[in-house]
Amino acid sequence: MSTAGTLALLFFLSVTLNKQVTDGCKCVQRHPQQQFCASDVVIRAKVIGKVPSSRPQLTAYKIQTVETFKQLDKKRIQVIYSTQTSCGINLESSEYLLSGHVEDGVVVVESCDRVERWDSLSSAQKRYLSMYQKGCVCEISPCTGASCQIKMLQKKCLIRVNNVAATDDKDALRSICLPFSSGFCKWQKV
């Protein structure tokens, strides 16, 4: 590679990395099923309130688990944590759908995870929570323009995105991607 090419590559990488740092917690919009499948924990929980944290840089919330949709271990979750950075969340005493990841033995929930008040979810969204696990064998892939016209892809459902990687596919957002005996995955409204 020429010197000019190397310099151009280094400039591009420095601008890209700098943008990622300055953007902080800019989250790529994902289908709720993608968030579910990527999470270690998905629960319906009542937040009791903040409690003293035994972990520096993390805010602790005492919770009461109402329903478990996904969990790596069967240990009862009584406290969840959130970072004290721009990626963190601020929870009020209310009932939520929470997804997160396990980090050093504790559940951490951040702004890019699914954090929604339970009463704001539609009945279909609540129903899909018990079905998403079956769809985790399927991949949900973004598409634009003509590439969205392909209907049958093995183990894959397509979701239309606009040019800024934001999902604008209303039908897909109201559906679940499930596998069929044929080995293909497709969107379904249940």
For residues 68 and 133, the answer to whether their CB atoms sit within 8 Å is no
Domain ranges of the chain: 33-120, 137-188
Of 154, 139, 80, 147, nearest to 110 (Cα)? 80
Could you give the 3-state DSSP secondary structure of residue 171?
helix
Pick the CATH number of 33-120 from 1.10.287.110, 3.40.50.300, 2.40.50.120, 3.40.50.970: 2.40.50.120
Nearest to 118 by CA among 77, 174, 64: 64
Residue 175 CA to its chain's centroid (Å) = 16
Cα(148)–Cα(114) distance, rounded to whole angstroms? 26
Using one digit for the tens of pLDDT, what is the confidence trace for 146-180? 878 776 677 888 888 876 555 667 788 889 999 98
Give the pLDDT confidence of 141-155 residue by residue, as tens digits: 888 888 787 766 778
Smallest CA-to-CA distance from 26 within 163, 170, 166 is with 166
**pLDDT tens digit string along 75-117?**
889 999 999 888 889 999 999 999 999 998 899 999 999 999 9
| Percent of the chain surpassing pLDDT 70 | 83
C-beta of residue 175 within 8 angstroms of C-beta of residue 187: yes
Q: How far is CA 131 from the centre of its chain?
A: 16
Question: Taking Cα atoms as reference points, which of 74, 79, 103, 101 lies closest to residue 91?
Answer: 79
User: What is the pTM assigned to this prediction?
Assistant: 0.79
